[in-house]
A and B are shown apart, each in its own frame.
Chain A
Amino acid sequence: GQNIDQPTEMTATEGAIVQINCTYQTSGFNGLFWYQQHAGEAPTFLSYNVLDGLEEKGRFSSFLSRSKGYSYLLLKELQMKDSASYLCAVTDSNYQLIWGAGTKLIIKP
């Protein structure tokens, strides 16, 4: 079967750095997305990786290793507004998005 694994919950301190990991086993691979979802709101796009390596976008970076079936999302200079769930999703061979259950990130002052 297809599977996306990510930690259920993480806690970090304002101003610090946090890394959210995602491992996947899917039938085919056509890219990996990270989305942010605040409580009661729609998921919104953060990043996309299709080739190995690091993609940087301001305070957020996303890394992909296709050979290891592994990605991480790195958040720097954490702010209280970063408290949210972070969803990892992989596009499979049928071009459907397979979703992880999300990681709830709690930021403490």
Chain B
Amino acid sequence: ETGVTQTPRHLVMGMTNKKSLKCEQHLGHNAMYWYKQSAKKPLELMFVYNFKEQTENNSVPSRFSPECPNSSHLFLHLHTLQPEDSALYLCASSHRTSGEFVYNEQFFGPGTRLTVL
């Protein structure tokens, strides 16, 4: 496997289900991200992990729970979702440099298309 992989690619779930999205990066990066992409809207940053530590949580509802067991893997645990949570969920990774200049090119996985019934 190369780059950033995500499973499953498609997921249909009821509002009472519990499911998890998985992301794995094979690029040796030290930062990983979860984004939500809805039609005709900007990418919404949900969570950021640097060196396995969560550094951003952009007011995401608690029905979304991230987990980062190591720098290569990222999970998004889902429970009691709402129909408006239906969207494409993208995982990304980057190599975050320190110092004055930060180059933050992010590499994306193919996404999980989530439908909540």
Q: Which of chain B's residues have a CB closer than 8 A to the CB of A42?
A: 4, 90, 108-111
Judge if A48 is at the interface, Cβ distance under 8 Å.
Answer: yes
Could you tell me the distance between the alpha carbons of A33 and B43 in the complex, rounded to whole angstroms? 14
Majority SS at the chain B contact face: loop
Q: Which of chain B's residues have a CB closer than 8 A to the CB of A95?
A: 96, 102, 104
Interface residues on A, range: 20 to 34
The chain A residue sitting closest to B100, CB to CB, is A30
Residues 1-48 (chain B) with a chain A CB within 8 angstroms: 4, 40-43, 45, 48
Count of chain B residues near A, Cβ 8 A: 22
Among the stretches A52-60, A66-74, A97-105, the one at the interface with B is: A97-105
Could you tell me the distance between the alpha carbons of A44 and B40 in the complex, rounded to whole angstroms? 18
Judge if B105 is at the interface, Cβ distance under 8 Å.
Answer: yes
Of the residues A8, A43, A101, A102, contact of B108 by C-beta under 8 Å: A43
A101 touches B56 (CB 8 A): no
The chain A residue sitting closest to B9, CB to CB, is A40
The chain B residue sitting closest to A88, CB to CB, is B42
Judge if A4 is at the interface, Cβ distance under 8 Å.
Answer: yes
B110 touches A31 (CB 8 A): no
Judge if A87 is at the interface, Cβ distance under 8 Å.
Answer: yes
Residues 43-90 (chain A) with a chain B CB within 8 angstroms: 43-45, 48, 87, 89
Known: A41-B110, A42-B90, A43-B108; 11 extra A-B contacts, CB below 8 A, are: A30-B104, A31-B103, A31-B104, A42-B109, A43-B43, A95-B96, A96-B56, A101-B40, A101-B41, A101-B42, A102-B40
